[in-house]
Amino acid sequence: MNRFSTLSRAIPKSTSRIYNLTKFNSKKIHTVAPIPYLVENGLKPLYSSETLDRLYNVRQKMLLEKVDEYAKDTEFDDKTLKEIITITSSYPEHAALYNYASQAWNFDFFLQNLTDRPHEPNMILRKALSLHFGSFEGFKNIFTMHAKGIFGNGWTWLAVDRDGNYFIKNTYNGGFLSTGTKEILKITTKFEEGRNRVPINQVTTLFPILCLNMWTDSYLADFGYNRDAYIEAFWKVVNWDLISQKIHRKEI
Protein backbone atom coordinates (compact mmCIF):
# COMPACT_ATOMS: atom_id res chain seq x y z
CA MET A 1 0.00 0.00 0.00
CA ASN A 2 1.48 3.36 -0.97
CA ARG A 3 1.35 6.43 1.22
CA PHE A 4 -1.43 7.97 -0.84
CA SER A 5 -3.81 5.03 -0.40
CA THR A 6 -5.69 6.91 2.30
CA LEU A 7 -7.06 9.54 -0.07
CA SER A 8 -10.69 10.16 0.80
CA ARG A 9 -12.14 9.88 -2.71
CA ALA A 10 -11.27 7.89 -5.78
CA ILE A 11 -10.21 9.98 -8.74
CA PRO A 12 -12.41 9.55 -11.84
CA LYS A 13 -10.57 7.55 -14.47
CA SER A 14 -11.19 10.26 -17.04
CA THR A 15 -8.92 12.67 -15.15
CA SER A 16 -5.85 10.69 -16.17
CA ARG A 17 -6.55 11.21 -19.86
CA ILE A 18 -4.52 13.98 -21.39
CA TYR A 19 -6.22 13.73 -24.75
CA ASN A 20 -8.46 11.35 -26.65
CA LEU A 21 -7.35 10.02 -30.02
CA THR A 22 -9.43 8.17 -32.60
CA LYS A 23 -7.53 6.35 -35.30
CA PHE A 24 -8.78 6.57 -38.87
CA ASN A 25 -6.82 5.25 -41.85
CA SER A 26 -3.58 5.37 -39.81
CA LYS A 27 -4.12 9.05 -39.02
CA LYS A 28 -4.85 10.38 -35.56
CA ILE A 29 -7.92 12.56 -35.32
CA HIS A 30 -7.64 14.62 -32.15
CA THR A 31 -10.89 15.10 -30.26
CA VAL A 32 -11.73 16.99 -27.10
CA ALA A 33 -11.14 14.77 -24.06
CA PRO A 34 -13.86 14.29 -21.42
CA ILE A 35 -13.46 16.28 -18.21
CA PRO A 36 -14.55 15.07 -14.75
CA TYR A 37 -17.38 17.59 -14.29
CA LEU A 38 -20.37 18.82 -16.28
CA VAL A 39 -19.70 21.71 -18.64
CA GLU A 40 -23.31 22.87 -18.48
CA ASN A 41 -22.96 23.43 -14.73
CA GLY A 42 -19.87 25.57 -15.08
CA LEU A 43 -17.11 25.33 -12.50
CA LYS A 44 -17.93 27.96 -9.93
CA PRO A 45 -16.40 30.13 -8.64
CA LEU A 46 -13.85 29.87 -11.47
CA TYR A 47 -16.03 29.57 -14.58
CA SER A 48 -19.63 30.32 -15.41
CA SER A 49 -21.36 27.72 -17.56
CA GLU A 50 -21.16 30.07 -20.56
CA THR A 51 -17.41 30.62 -20.21
CA LEU A 52 -16.62 26.94 -19.66
CA ASP A 53 -18.75 25.99 -22.66
CA ARG A 54 -16.94 28.51 -24.86
CA LEU A 55 -13.47 27.45 -23.71
CA TYR A 56 -14.11 23.71 -23.75
CA ASN A 57 -16.60 23.11 -26.57
CA VAL A 58 -15.55 25.90 -28.91
CA ARG A 59 -11.97 26.99 -28.31
CA GLN A 60 -10.45 23.60 -27.47
CA LYS A 61 -12.27 22.00 -30.40
CA MET A 62 -10.87 24.71 -32.70
CA LEU A 63 -7.31 24.14 -31.44
CA LEU A 64 -7.49 20.41 -32.12
CA GLU A 65 -9.02 20.95 -35.56
CA LYS A 66 -6.09 23.23 -36.36
CA VAL A 67 -3.66 20.53 -35.21
CA ASP A 68 -5.28 18.07 -37.62
CA GLU A 69 -5.29 20.67 -40.41
CA TYR A 70 -1.58 21.48 -40.09
CA ALA A 71 -0.57 17.84 -39.54
CA LYS A 72 -2.53 16.50 -42.52
CA ASP A 73 -0.39 14.75 -45.14
CA THR A 74 2.81 15.41 -43.20
CA GLU A 75 5.08 13.25 -41.07
CA PHE A 76 2.99 14.39 -38.08
CA ASP A 77 -0.40 13.06 -39.15
CA ASP A 78 -0.01 9.86 -37.11
CA LYS A 79 1.57 11.50 -34.05
CA THR A 80 0.12 12.22 -30.63
CA LEU A 81 -0.03 15.76 -29.29
CA LYS A 82 2.97 15.13 -27.05
CA GLU A 83 5.00 13.74 -29.95
CA ILE A 84 4.06 16.69 -32.15
CA ILE A 85 5.09 19.18 -29.46
CA THR A 86 8.41 17.45 -28.79
CA ILE A 87 9.42 17.23 -32.44
CA THR A 88 8.18 20.58 -33.76
CA SER A 89 9.64 22.63 -30.89
CA SER A 90 13.03 22.59 -32.67
CA TYR A 91 11.76 23.58 -36.12
CA PRO A 92 10.60 27.19 -36.73
CA GLU A 93 8.88 26.16 -39.96
CA HIS A 94 6.44 24.13 -37.84
CA ALA A 95 5.75 26.94 -35.34
CA ALA A 96 2.02 27.08 -36.10
CA LEU A 97 1.54 23.34 -35.55
CA TYR A 98 3.61 23.50 -32.36
CA ASN A 99 1.60 26.40 -30.97
CA TYR A 100 -1.79 24.80 -31.63
CA ALA A 101 -0.70 21.42 -30.25
CA SER A 102 0.97 22.91 -27.19
CA GLN A 103 -1.95 25.19 -26.41
CA ALA A 104 -4.41 22.29 -26.70
CA TRP A 105 -2.28 20.04 -24.46
CA ASN A 106 -1.79 22.77 -21.85
CA PHE A 107 -5.48 23.63 -21.68
CA ASP A 108 -6.57 20.02 -21.32
CA PHE A 109 -3.95 19.44 -18.61
CA PHE A 110 -5.27 22.52 -16.79
CA LEU A 111 -8.91 21.37 -16.93
CA GLN A 112 -8.16 17.79 -15.85
CA ASN A 113 -6.65 19.03 -12.58
CA LEU A 114 -9.81 20.86 -11.48
CA THR A 115 -12.87 19.57 -9.65
CA ASP A 116 -16.45 20.55 -8.86
CA ARG A 117 -16.07 18.89 -5.44
CA PRO A 118 -13.90 21.29 -3.42
CA HIS A 119 -11.68 19.75 -0.76
CA GLU A 120 -8.59 20.62 1.24
CA PRO A 121 -5.15 19.15 0.46
CA ASN A 122 -4.22 16.23 2.69
CA MET A 123 -1.45 16.47 5.27
CA ILE A 124 1.01 14.44 3.17
CA LEU A 125 0.76 16.94 0.32
CA ARG A 126 0.95 19.91 2.68
CA LYS A 127 4.09 18.51 4.28
CA ALA A 128 5.75 17.79 0.91
CA LEU A 129 5.17 21.33 -0.36
CA SER A 130 6.08 22.87 3.00
CA LEU A 131 9.50 21.20 2.91
CA HIS A 132 10.32 23.11 -0.28
CA PHE A 133 8.41 26.38 0.15
CA GLY A 134 8.41 26.87 3.92
CA SER A 135 4.67 26.25 4.26
CA PHE A 136 1.67 25.35 2.14
CA GLU A 137 0.58 28.99 2.17
CA GLY A 138 4.11 29.90 1.13
CA PHE A 139 3.77 27.65 -1.91
CA LYS A 140 0.46 29.28 -2.84
CA ASN A 141 1.94 32.76 -2.41
CA ILE A 142 4.93 32.04 -4.65
CA PHE A 143 2.77 30.34 -7.29
CA THR A 144 0.32 33.26 -7.19
CA MET A 145 3.10 35.83 -7.60
CA HIS A 146 4.42 33.95 -10.64
CA ALA A 147 0.93 33.99 -12.16
CA LYS A 148 0.50 37.71 -11.48
CA GLY A 149 3.88 38.32 -13.11
CA ILE A 150 2.69 37.10 -16.51
CA PHE A 151 2.29 40.07 -18.83
CA GLY A 152 0.03 39.03 -21.68
CA ASN A 153 -0.88 35.34 -22.06
CA GLY A 154 0.76 32.35 -20.43
CA TRP A 155 0.74 29.50 -17.94
CA THR A 156 2.06 29.04 -14.41
CA TRP A 157 3.30 25.55 -13.51
CA LEU A 158 4.16 23.45 -10.50
CA ALA A 159 6.54 20.66 -11.49
CA VAL A 160 8.62 18.04 -9.72
CA ASP A 161 11.80 16.26 -10.78
CA ARG A 162 12.86 12.66 -10.15
CA ASP A 163 14.64 13.66 -6.94
CA GLY A 164 11.53 15.24 -5.46
CA ASN A 165 12.58 18.88 -5.98
CA TYR A 166 9.75 21.27 -6.79
CA PHE A 167 9.78 24.02 -9.39
CA ILE A 168 7.41 26.90 -10.10
CA LYS A 169 7.85 28.53 -13.49
CA ASN A 170 5.98 30.38 -16.21
CA THR A 171 5.64 29.67 -19.91
CA TYR A 172 4.22 32.19 -22.35
CA ASN A 173 1.58 32.09 -25.08
CA GLY A 174 1.39 28.46 -26.25
CA GLY A 175 4.62 27.54 -24.48
CA PHE A 176 4.90 23.95 -23.28
CA LEU A 177 6.75 23.17 -20.04
CA SER A 178 10.08 21.92 -21.41
CA THR A 179 11.75 18.95 -19.78
CA GLY A 180 15.38 17.96 -19.63
CA THR A 181 16.58 21.57 -19.82
CA LYS A 182 18.73 23.64 -17.49
CA GLU A 183 16.60 25.50 -15.00
CA ILE A 184 18.02 28.86 -13.93
CA LEU A 185 16.30 29.53 -10.65
CA LYS A 186 16.67 32.32 -8.13
CA ILE A 187 17.13 31.12 -4.59
CA THR A 188 14.56 33.03 -2.62
CA THR A 189 15.76 33.21 0.98
CA LYS A 190 12.41 34.42 2.17
CA PHE A 191 9.20 35.11 0.30
CA GLU A 192 6.37 36.00 2.62
CA GLU A 193 5.77 32.71 4.43
CA GLY A 194 7.64 30.46 2.01
CA ARG A 195 11.17 29.67 0.92
CA ASN A 196 12.44 28.14 -2.30
CA ARG A 197 15.27 25.72 -1.49
CA VAL A 198 15.88 24.34 -4.97
CA PRO A 199 19.50 24.78 -6.20
CA ILE A 200 20.20 26.81 -9.34
CA ASN A 201 21.73 25.57 -12.60
CA GLN A 202 20.24 22.14 -12.13
CA VAL A 203 19.74 19.96 -15.18
CA THR A 204 16.63 17.89 -14.60
CA THR A 205 13.61 16.26 -16.15
CA LEU A 206 10.47 18.02 -14.99
CA PHE A 207 7.07 16.40 -14.51
CA PRO A 208 4.19 18.92 -14.65
CA ILE A 209 1.89 18.54 -11.66
CA LEU A 210 -0.40 21.56 -11.78
CA CYS A 211 -0.87 24.56 -14.04
CA LEU A 212 -2.92 27.74 -14.14
CA ASN A 213 -4.25 29.17 -17.39
CA MET A 214 -3.39 32.89 -17.49
CA TRP A 215 -4.69 33.60 -20.98
CA THR A 216 -6.93 36.66 -20.97
CA ASP A 217 -9.84 34.79 -22.55
CA SER A 218 -9.83 32.48 -19.52
CA TYR A 219 -10.77 35.22 -17.06
CA LEU A 220 -11.99 38.28 -18.96
CA ALA A 221 -15.66 37.25 -19.33
CA ASP A 222 -16.23 36.38 -15.66
CA PHE A 223 -13.67 38.57 -13.87
CA GLY A 224 -12.87 41.43 -16.22
CA TYR A 225 -9.30 42.52 -15.54
CA ASN A 226 -9.44 41.43 -11.88
CA ARG A 227 -6.82 38.71 -12.19
CA ASP A 228 -6.41 38.54 -8.41
CA ALA A 229 -10.01 37.35 -8.03
CA TYR A 230 -9.55 34.83 -10.86
CA ILE A 231 -6.44 33.33 -9.24
CA GLU A 232 -8.19 33.16 -5.86
CA ALA A 233 -11.11 31.31 -7.49
CA PHE A 234 -8.66 28.85 -9.08
CA TRP A 235 -7.39 27.72 -5.66
CA LYS A 236 -10.95 26.78 -4.69
CA VAL A 237 -11.39 24.23 -7.51
CA VAL A 238 -7.98 22.50 -7.58
CA ASN A 239 -8.29 18.71 -7.30
CA TRP A 240 -5.76 18.27 -4.50
CA ASP A 241 -6.31 14.51 -4.27
CA LEU A 242 -5.25 14.14 -7.90
CA ILE A 243 -2.26 16.43 -7.36
CA SER A 244 -1.15 14.21 -4.46
CA GLN A 245 -1.27 11.14 -6.66
CA LYS A 246 0.69 12.84 -9.44
CA ILE A 247 3.44 13.98 -7.08
CA HIS A 248 3.78 10.45 -5.76
CA ARG A 249 3.84 8.82 -9.20
CA LYS A 250 5.66 11.66 -11.03
CA GLU A 251 3.41 11.14 -14.01
CA ILE A 252 1.55 13.36 -16.49
3-state secondary structure of 189: coil
Phi-psi region of 59 (alpha: psi -120 to 50; beta: other; left: phi over 0): alpha
Phi-psi region of 26 (alpha: psi -120 to 50; beta: other; left: phi over 0): left
Top-confidence residue, 241 or 5: 241
pLDDT at 154: 93
Alpha-carbon distance 235 to 23, whole Å? 37
Q: Find which of 87-96, 101-110, 177-186 is predicted with most confidence, using mean pLDDT.
A: 101-110
Task: Give the global pTM.
Answer: 0.77
pLDDT at 206: 78
* Average pLDDT score over residue span 70-93: 86
Q: Is the pLDDT of residue 236 over 80?
A: yes
pLDDT at 13: 35
Strand partners, 182: 203
Torsion of CA 155, 216, 144, 39, to 10 degrees: -80
Taking the domains of the chain in order of start, what are their residue ranges?
40-249
Q: What residues contact 167, with CB distance under 8 A and at least 6 apart?
A: 157, 158, 159, 160, 161, 183, 185, 198, 206
Q: What are phi and psi of 144, to 5 degrees?
A: -60, -40
Q: Is the pLDDT of residue 42 over 50?
A: yes
* Average pLDDT score over residue span 40-68: 95
Instruction: Report which DSSP code applies to 192.
Output: T
pLDDT-derived band at 238, boundaries 50, 70, 90: very high
Q: Is the pLDDT of residue 58 over 50?
A: yes
* Average pLDDT score over residue span 48-71: 94
3-state secondary structure of 125: helix
Which residue, 113, 248, 82, 249, is CA-closest to 179? 82
pLDDT at 23: 34
Chain segment 199-223, per-residue pLDDT in tens: 434 445 778 899 999 999 999 999 9
How many Cβ atoms from other residues are within 10 Å of residue 230's Cβ? 22
Topology (CATH level 3) of domain 40-249 = minor pseudopilin epsh fold (3.55.40)
Chain segment 106-135, per-residue pLDDT in tens: 999 999 999 999 999 999 899 989 988 999
pLDDT-derived band at 186, boundaries 50, 70, 90: very low
